[in-house]
Amino acid sequence: MRTTGKLAQLPTALRSLRALRPAQALAQVHHLVFGLPAPRRATGPSPTLALERAATPFLSPPAHVRTHRDGSLELLAMRWQPGRPIDWEHDGHGPLFAYHLHQHDWLRGPLWTPEERALQLLDWIARHPRGIGWDPHPVSLRLLVWGKLMLTPGALPADPVLRARLLGSLADQAETLDHGLEIRLQANHLLSNLLGVVFAGLLVDGSSSARWRGRALLLAREIEAQIHPDGGHEERSPMYHALLLEALLDLLNLCRAAPGRAPEGLVDSLVAAVARMGRALDVLVHPDGRIALFADSGFDIAAEPAVLRDYAARLGCPPADEANDDDAMSRSVHLPQTGYLRLLAGGFDLIASVAGPSPPHQPGHAHADALSFELSVDGRRVVTDSGNFEYRPGARRDHARSTAAHATLQVDGAEQAELWSAHRVGGRPEVRMLGWDGAGRAEAACRGWSRPSTWHRRTFEVTADGVTLVDRVEGPTESVTSRLPIASEWHVELVGPARRRAIVLDATTGVACLELDLPEGLDWRIERAESFPSFGRVEERFVLVGRGRACSEAITRLRRPR
């Protein structure tokens, strides 16, 4: 039975593999045969710290990272009492928790004394010479964290023996990473690898530092490839976009602190990328100041956009001038390469996903969210995306990625994309942007991977009076399902004899904020479903669900209560 199951999955796996880049495919084969490379040891004289301070203070750890007074650690909303010494092999909370444990960002929290931080770092060096903490991704992020600790006055004891131990281990980690770049994964992993290696090359003087800094050329090429001209990151996750923006700023921080050590062209590359990414991030932020939750995104994992803007300004990368900012927020904005658009008018603020899983060679953080949207009204979120609970395979991971978890239309109960495992995508939808007038109206279309003869076309229009959605399904269909998931702070009621009008009310005060005229031809019901505004956090919300046999033209209007 197991063999039969694996054979049945073979076409799905082949559809996933066909988009791999040649070098990526070879690296995948190498990884299957040999696994990750063993930790390496840096050679030559003991490394020394090349600079004593950063140009400007680094940002605090993200909000999900907490150390409690009882000694417990909280990462990704999962709390753990590690004991002393810490069990560095702990795997009870899954690999993502382990990655964050070994990243050591939690050691930058205010409850740790310099001496306690030193003891934990030395314990890690002594008792974790190999294992998951030496995977390339946690190494990449830990290099930045250790650098932040060493360059933050008072974070560690002023002990030359401690510094020598830390620098020796840091050099080993950088050397291991430099020989183990995640070519097989690409995307944010590879970019983080290169940022970590170049960061280490700027931070320390050692026999390999110049070679690590020499990775700046590959880093600049990867930045240019991964950060689109419109400023969006290729994986289309607002959360990863913000995480990578902070990492680019951290590297720029070191360049500003020691300009003579920065490889030629690196500062220009970083400044240009930061400017593009900052403009794109503004498009993906709601009036409440927080990111949209498309793709694999959640609150509290990355720094807040306003904090990133301030950090960039301190490093000589100020935002666009005020006139341009005001202009951008008074009109529609389209990120054509990244596949998002924002339509604004009269207190209605809509952000829509108008692209498919991306990039083709690594869509592991993509959801089936084409033509879905989030909506804020008068500064408060009303229609929301699913967010993400975890990366381990299971029902919640499957739901968060599914078409049914997003504010879009589903044809014949089928998924837009062939989602499998926790981060795999086989067949992909075709998504087209059909029109955009820059004044509040746009149209896009999606053809699901398993329904090649059927197109879903959606028109978005936002005016001072409200939002209008027009859905059309062209081609053979047996059923259609339209969903409008409402943020958990709201209550929803269907009213009227035909149940084609809905009211959205504040769950605490009972005050209505929105009325919806729902399209004919669909049978509308109110359902309950889970959403995941941050990793490890579950909220129940109302979902307006309309089901029918066809959808030649379905018009939904959202407006303020009359």
Q: Is residue 153 part of a domain?
A: yes
CATH of the domain at 217: 1.50.10.100
Q: Is residue 441 part of a domain?
A: yes
In this prediction the pTM is 0.96
Q: Which of residues 326, 354, 382 is at a domain's end?
A: 326
Q: What is the mean pLDDT of residues 144-164?
A: 97
* Integer Cα distance of 346 and 361 in angstroms: 40
217 in the same domain as 179: yes
Q: Is residue 289 part of a domain?
A: yes
344 in the same domain as 252: no
Q: Is residue 1 part of a domain?
A: no
Which pLDDT score, from 0 to 100, does residue 496 have? 86
Of the chain, the end-to-end C-alpha distance in Å amounts to: 60
Domain extent, residue 41, equals 19-61+134-326
* Integer Cα distance of 57 and 180 in angstroms: 30
* Integer Cα distance of 365 and 372 in angstroms: 16
Give the 3-state DSSP-derived string for 116-136, with helices as H, strands as E and coil as C.
HHHHHHHHHHHHCCCCHHHCH
Which pLDDT score, from 0 to 100, does residue 1 have? 33
300 in the same domain as 160: yes
Q: What is the mean pLDDT of residues 236-244?
A: 98
The answer to whether residue 211 scores a pLDDT higher than 60 is: yes
289 in the same domain as 392: no
* Integer Cα distance of 334 and 351 in angstroms: 10
365 in the same domain as 283: no
Which pLDDT score, from 0 to 100, does residue 320 have? 62
- The sign one gets for the Cα dihedral 481, 484, 489, 490 is negative
Q: Is residue 179 part of a domain?
A: yes
202 in the same domain as 242: yes
Radius of gyration of the chain (CA): 25
Give the 3-state DSSP-derived string for 414-468, with helices as H, strands as E and coil as C.
CCCCCEECCCEECCCCEEEEEEECCCCEEEEEEECCCCCCCEEEEEEEEECCEEE
Q: What is the mean pLDDT of residues 345-368?
A: 97
289 in the same domain as 225: yes
307 in the same domain as 350: no
* Integer Cα distance of 90 and 181 in angstroms: 25
311 in the same domain as 162: yes
* Integer Cα distance of 430 and 191 in angstroms: 27
418 in the same domain as 315: no
Only one residue has tokens 């170049």, namely 198
Q: Is residue 2 part of a domain?
A: no
* Integer Cα distance of 32 and 175 in angstroms: 22
CATH of the domain at 433: 2.70.98.70
| C-alpha torsion angle, residues 530, 533, 539, 545 (rounded to 10) | -40
368 in the same domain as 275: no
Which of 489, 496, 487, 541 lies closest to 516, judged by CA? 496
Tokens of 511: 């005050």
Q: Which of residues 326, 348, 367 is at a domain's end?
A: 326
Q: Tell me the Ramachandran region of residue 510: left when phi exceeds 0, alpha when psi lies from -120 to 50, beta otherwise.
A: left
Q: Is residue 531 part of a domain?
A: yes
pLDDT-based confidence at residue 323 (cuts at 50, 70, 90): very low
The answer to whether residue 391 scores a pLDDT higher than 60 is: yes
Q: Report pLDDT digits (tens) over 542-555.
A: 999 999 998 899 99
* Integer Cα distance of 537 and 515 in angstroms: 29
Which of 223, 184, 187, 215 lies closest to 199, judged by CA? 215
The answer to whether residue 70 scores a pLDDT higher than 70 is: yes
458 in the same domain as 382: yes
Q: Is residue 127 part of a domain?
A: no
Query: Where are any strands of DSSP class E within 41-111?
Result: 48-49, 66-67, 73-75, 78-80
User: Which amino acid, 380?
Assistant: R
* Integer Cα distance of 207 and 543 in angstroms: 59
Q: Which of residues 326, 352, 373 is at a domain's end?
A: 326
Task: Provide, rounded to the nearest whole percent, the portion of the chain with pLDDT above 70.
Answer: 96
Which pLDDT score, from 0 to 100, does residue 318 have? 84
Residues 6+ apart with CB under 8 A from 118: 156, 157, 159, 162
Q: How many domains does the chain have?
A: 2
